[in-house]
């Protein structure tokens, strides 16, 4: 009887130590470690330039397609595009950033197969044409094939008549 009490006590002690360690390592950051406004600043991590072998290894590990082309299914038929996963800039919560610069960002949502082109700079029409040309070049597709894909463009906030609007590619009919 005395042995079983000792064993049970020992097991409870080990359990308490484990719970204490878990609680210690999962505690939130102390307020002194946070920025003054109390929020943690997050910045996207830009992937360093990789060799072709390490790109292939990354794609396989991430379950991304590794071939030279990808066929994207659309209601208007499949569209064969150049494998944009091989040139990604970053990934974040289901999004693959294909291009990211001061003028625009081109991304792909792996969950709903939508492409997004966020235009940041002015004049809007010039930045939009540049982003759309880059989009076509990255995917190595024609304008007619691009119009089959689900692509949403967003205008900068100071573009009063377009801001926040979900725009189609400028060369697709009907125009926005």
Residue-wise pLDDT for 2-19, tens only, equals 777 777 776 766 766 676
Backbone angles phi, psi at 92, to 5 degrees: -155, 115
Does 115 share its domain with 69?
yes
What would the mean pLDDT of 166-172 be, rounded to a whole number? 86
pLDDT value at residue 24: 60
How many folded domains does the chain comprise? 2
Range of the domain at 14: 2-33
Candidates 151, 75, 76; CA nearest to 108 is 151
Residue-wise pLDDT for 62-77, tens only, equals 667 788 899 988 888 8
The rounded Cα 59 to chain-centroid distance in angstroms is: 14
Q: pLDDT band for position 33 (50/70/90)? A: very low
Specify if 120 maps to a domain. yes
C-alpha to C-alpha distance for 76 and 129, rounded to whole angstroms: 24
Does 10 share its domain with 84?
no
């Amino acid at each position: 009887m005395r042995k079983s009490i000792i064993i049970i006590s020992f097991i409870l002690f080990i359990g308490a130590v484990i719970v204490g360690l878990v609680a210690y390592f999962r505690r939130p950051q102390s307020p002194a470690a946070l920025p003054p406004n109390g929020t943690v600043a997050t910045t996207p991590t830009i992937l360093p330039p990789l060799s072709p072998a390490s790109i292939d290894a990354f794609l396989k590990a991430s379950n991304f397609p590794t071939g030279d082309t990808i066929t994207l299914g659309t209601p208007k038929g499949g569209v064969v595009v150049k494998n944009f996963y091989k040139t990604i800039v970053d990934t974040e919560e289901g999004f693959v950033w294909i291009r990211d610069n001061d003028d625009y960002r081109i991304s792909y949502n792996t969950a709903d197969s939508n492409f997004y082109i966020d235009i940041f700079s002015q004049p809007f029409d010039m930045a939009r044409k540049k982003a759309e040309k880059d989009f076509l070049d990255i995917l190595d597709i024609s304008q007619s094939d691009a119009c089959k894909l689900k692509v949403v463009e967003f205008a900068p906030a100071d573009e009063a008549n377009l801001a926040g609007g979900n725009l189609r590619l400028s060369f697709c009919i009907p125009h926005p």
